[in-house]
């Protein structure tokens, strides 16, 4: 049976959706851990929803601030953070300090995860290069 051209876009779409939902779940779990460590009562589904709403709202606030001439470029990142903090504050009924602490913890957790992955990949790449039969 000949290859149908329709399968490629559907496969790409399915791979994109799988990646999106996997990363959304992982980021929701990381956000949940940061919320719990900051002393905010949360659940994983609510953390996932807050992550999605926070990113979307903060993105649109930052884009709107970019429309302001000259200082929009300087104020836009601050608007992004404040919008995300506001979403955390309102969804979890907490203080500004705890919301800021949770965002800082999210950053720290993500940096630690990246360091661990870099070490694992670096160690495995080094062991591959040491056992590689090809001359360097």
Q: Is residue 2 part of a domain?
A: no
| DSSP letter, residue 3 | P
| DSSP letter, residue 68 | S
Residues 6+ apart with CB under 8 A from 94: 40, 88
> To 5 degrees, how large is the angle CA 64–CA 108–CA 53?
35
Q: Is residue 122 part of a domain?
A: yes
Q: Is residue 19 part of a domain?
A: yes
| pLDDT at residue number 129 | 67
| DSSP letter, residue 133 | S
Which residues span the domain enclosing 23? 7-131
Q: Is residue 98 part of a domain?
A: yes
Q: What is the pLDDT of residues 58-94, one digit of tens each?
A: 999 999 999 988 898 889 999 999 999 999 999 999 9
Ranges of residues in the chain whose predicted pLDDT is under 70: 1-8, 125, 127-136
Q: Is residue 89 part of a domain?
A: yes
Q: Is residue 136 part of a domain?
A: no
- Quick one: how far is CA 96 from the chain centroid? 21
Q: Is residue 75 part of a domain?
A: yes
Number of domains in the chain: 1
| pLDDT at residue number 42 | 93
What is the pTM (predicted TM-score) of this model? 0.77
The two most distant CA atoms of the chain are separated, in Å, by 62
């Amino acid at each position: 049976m000949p290859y149908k051209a329709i399968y490629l876009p559907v496969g790409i779409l399915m791979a994109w959706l799988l990646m999106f939902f996997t990363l959304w779940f992982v980021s929701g779990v990381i956000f949940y851990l940061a919320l719990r460590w900051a002393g905010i009562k949360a659940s994983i589904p609510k953390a996932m929803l807050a992550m999605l709403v926070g990113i979307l709202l903060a993105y649109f606030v930052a884009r709107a601030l970019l429309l302001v001439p000259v200082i929009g470029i300087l104020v836009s990142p601050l608007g992004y953070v404040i919008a995300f903090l506001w979403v955390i504050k309102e969804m979890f009924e907490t203080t500004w300090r705890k919301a800021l602490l949770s965002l800082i913890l999210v950053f720290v957790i993500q940096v630690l995860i990246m360091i661990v992955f870099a070490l694992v990949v670096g160690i495995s790449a080094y062991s591959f290069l040491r056992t590689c039969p090809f001359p360097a």
